[in-house]
Amino acid sequence: MNWCAISTKELSPMKTALKTTKRPPRRFTASEKCRAVLLVWTEKRSATQLARELGLTWTVLSQWQEQAMAGMLSALEPRQRTEPKPCPLNARLQQLLDRKSPRPGPEIPARPAGLAKRPAELQETAAEPPSPKP
């Protein structure tokens, strides 16, 4: 078949057939993305060259690089210990617990055992000079 002899009328159905048969976009695994990013970071391939080889745009490869960097930074951050949040109880259980637990009231400080005197008496004795010991 001579390609030069084909008219544009014969080509138009071929063009529409090519346009309608789209391939679904390729899904890359995490390890494939990691290899691609490492190839760029180790300068074994340029970003545009690798994007061409994989059949993707430069912006997609750039997004992979940003995601890889964010993942590394979050993995290397020191982990903070979080206190577990108390599990909320239903109203009935909370009422029972409130009845059984002692009510928090004003705290009364305990007087040390060595201080039997009242504070006023302590102030009077503090004002008096200490008596000499024989």
- CA–CA separation, 134 vs 132, rounded Å? 6
Backbone φ and ψ for 33, nearest 5 degrees, come out as -65, -40
What's the pLDDT score for residue 59? 92
Helix (H) or strand (E) holding 92: helix 91-100
What's the pLDDT score for residue 25? 76
Report domain extents, the chain: 30-76
Per-residue pLDDT of the chain (134 residues; tens, 9 = 90+): 555 555 555 555 555 555 556 667 788 999 999 999 999 999 888 999 999 999 999 899 999 999 999 999 999 888 887 777 777 777 877 777 787 776 665 565 665 655 555 556 555 655 556 666 65
Written as six digits, the tokens of 86 are: 């108390």
What's the pLDDT score for residue 63? 94
**Neighbouring C-beta atoms of residue 130, cutoff 10 Å:** 7
What's the pLDDT score for residue 49? 92
User: Are 32 and 68 in contact, with CB atoms under 8 Å apart?
Assistant: no
What's the pLDDT score for residue 70? 92
- CA–CA separation, 41 vs 110, rounded Å? 68
